[in-house]
């Protein structure tokens, strides 16, 4: 296998972008990535997107994006794994470069959620349609079930959940691409409108539009281009039982743990070697469970660890320096690639006020549904 490098990236602002279409968002992010990488051709495209069919009535978006980017007839396809569609697109792109089949490819993600669709219904299609969604459970509802069980078993508190949102909003306030560039307080999070008890609207990532793209090439080609090269040193993906109720332990996100273990093994690094992580905080409880599964903290200790500030920008392991899904926004298919964009900016030293000092190794973790699929990547500046 060839070694793989990220040589360019770009993203749109995330938010309620009522004047922008699905295709415009993707092409804007793609052009930024192409300009950043300074490449003059692409061999293929992978587009991560969860459900453009339900959100805007458009399928077949691989071909659509190749067309509107003006690069047809190169191969292009959409990749779907619910909320980790973007991360999975990156992983497929990794293998296409690693195999030697292609030299320069574009991997991206896009979602246009604000266009009048029933968003709660569309997101719930990532759950078991016949045995979860049929009974009226929603995505906030599934994570609320996880939260209640985590609180019951480990003593995680309402305040500790809120600490995740407060920290991510503090980071997002420093990110010009974030949907919400403002801080929130613990009291605001706890007293906000309930969505699914005990989770409030401020425990939840927003409904967002946006796109993010990255350009991948082989390490050898990247070195010839004499650019700061970000090497992809680990990739791991895994699945779990789809319906939350079918898992033996509903507080465990096994796919996250297995995908991380595979990525750590391939990269030859341990959790303590990671300088920053962009992880899937679709709800506050998700970040607490994920930092436990990634091995940053022992199982059950994610709440106190967060409350004590260890995941803050100046903490032991800065988590979601971009603002995370909570504050930066969560256009589902774009999220996995936007995580890559943040890690690349951090490793290049371009993250301005959000910059983590001496960041050399970064991790991204992106998951689908209530955690039935997960993909982890580890990047290092070469």
Partner 1 sequence: MPSPRYRREMPQRYRLEGAQCKKCGKISFPPRLICAACGSREFGTAKLSDTGKIVSYTTIRVAPSDFAKQIPYNIAIVESDNGVRVTAQVVDCKPEDIEIGKRVKFVFRKLYEEGRTGIICYGYKTVLI
Return the active site residues: 83, 330
Q: 121 phi and psi, to 5 degrees?
A: -65, -45
Minimum CB separation of residue 314 from partner 1 in Å reads 34
Cβ distance to partner 1 smaller for residue 251 or 320 = 251
Which residues from 228-267 bind partner 1, rule CB under 8 A? 241, 243-246, 250
User: Residue from 25, 29, 84, 137 that binds partner 1 (CB under 8 A)?
Assistant: 137
Q: Which residue has the tokens 């008890």?
A: 197
- Minimal CA–CA distance to 253: which of 164, 364, 369? 369
One of 38, 95, 99, 152 touching partner 1 (CB under 8 A): 152
How does DSSP assign 19-37, residue by residue? T--HHHHHHHHHHHHHHHH
| Beta-bridge partner residues of 83 | 81
Q: Taking CB under 8 A as the rule, does residue 148 contact partner 1?
A: yes
Q: Which burial class, exposed, middle or buried, applies to 176 when counting CB atoms under 10 A from its CB (0-12, 13-18, 19+)?
A: exposed
Does 66 engage in binding with partner 1 (CB under 8 A)?
no
Looking at 196-204, 298-306, 312-320, 333-341, which segment touches partner 1 (CB under 8 A)? 196-204
Burial (CB count within 10 angstroms: exposed 0-12, middle 13-18, buried 19+), residue 92: middle
Residue among 196, 274, 276, 341 that touches partner 1 (CB under 8 A): 196
In the complex, least distance from residue 82 CB atom to partner 1, rounded to whole angstroms: 16
Q: Is 371 in the site for partner 1 (CB under 8 A)?
A: no
Chain center to CA of 322: 11
Instruction: Find the binder of partner 1 among 132, 240, 278, 342 (CB under 8 A).
Output: 132
Instruction: Provide the 8-state DSSP code for 57.
Output: S
Structure tokens at 179: 């949907």
Q: Considering Cα of 178, then 367, then 57, then 69, what sign does the dihedral take?
A: positive
136 binding partner 1? (CB under 8 A): yes
Q: Does 188 bind partner 1 (CB under 8 A)?
A: no
How many H-runs (helices) and E-runs (strands) does the chain carry? 14, 11
Nearer to partner 1, 53 or 349 (CB): 53
Residue 149 is a binding residue for partner 1 (CB under 8 A): yes
Which residues of the shown chain bind partner 1 in the complex (CB under 8 A)?
A: 118, 120-121, 124, 130-138, 140-141, 144-146, 148-149, 152, 193-199, 241, 243-246, 250
């Amino acid at each position: 296998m060839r070694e793989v490098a990220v040589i360019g990236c770009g993203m749109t602002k995330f938010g309620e972008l009522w004047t922008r279409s699905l295709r415009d968002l993707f092409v804007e992010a793609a052009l930024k990535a192409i300009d950043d990488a300074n490449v003059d051709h692409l061999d293929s495209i992978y587009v991560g997107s969860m459900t453009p069919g339900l959100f805007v009535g458009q399928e077949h978006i691989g071909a659509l994006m190749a067309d509107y980017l003006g690069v047809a007839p190169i191969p292009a396809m959409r990749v779907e794994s619910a909320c980790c569609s973007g991360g999975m697109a990156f992983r497929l792109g990794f293998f296409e470069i690693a195999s030697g089949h292609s030299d320069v490819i574009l991997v991206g993600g896009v979602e246009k959620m604000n266009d009048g669709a029933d968003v709660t219904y569309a997101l719930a299609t990532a759950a078991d349609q016949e045995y979860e969604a049929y009974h009226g459970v929603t995505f906030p509802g599934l994570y609320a079930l996880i939260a209640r069980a985590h609180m019951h078993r480990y003593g995680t508190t309402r305040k500790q959940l809120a600490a995740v949102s407060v920290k991510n909003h503090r980071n997002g306030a420093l990110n010009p691409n974030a949907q919400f560039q403002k801080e929130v307080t613990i009291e605001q999070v706890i007293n906000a409108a309930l969505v699914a008890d005990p989770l409030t609207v401020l425990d939840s990532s927003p409904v967002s539009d946006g796109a993010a793209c990255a350009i991948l090439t082989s390490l050898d080609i990247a070195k010839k281009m004499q650019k700061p090269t970000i090497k992809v040193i680990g990739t791991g993906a895994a699945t779990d039982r789809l319906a939350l109720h079918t898992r033996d332990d509903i507080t465990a996100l096994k796919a996250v743990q297995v995908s991380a273990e595979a990525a750590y093994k391939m990269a030859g690094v341990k959790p303590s070697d990671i300088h920053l992580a962009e992880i899937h905080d679709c709800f506050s409880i998700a970040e607490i469970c994920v930092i436990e599964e990634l091995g940053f903290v022992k199982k059950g200790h994610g709440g106190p660890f967060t409350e004590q500030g260890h995941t803050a920008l100046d903490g032991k392991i800065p988590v979601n320096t971009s603002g995370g899904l909570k504050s930066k926004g969560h256009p589902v298919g774009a999220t996995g690639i936007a995580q890559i964009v943040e890690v690349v900016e951090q490793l290049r030293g371009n993250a301005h006020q959000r910059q983590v000092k001496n960041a050399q190794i970064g991790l991204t973790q992106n998951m689908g549904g209530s955690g039935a699929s997960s993909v982890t990547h580890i990047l290092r500046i070469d």
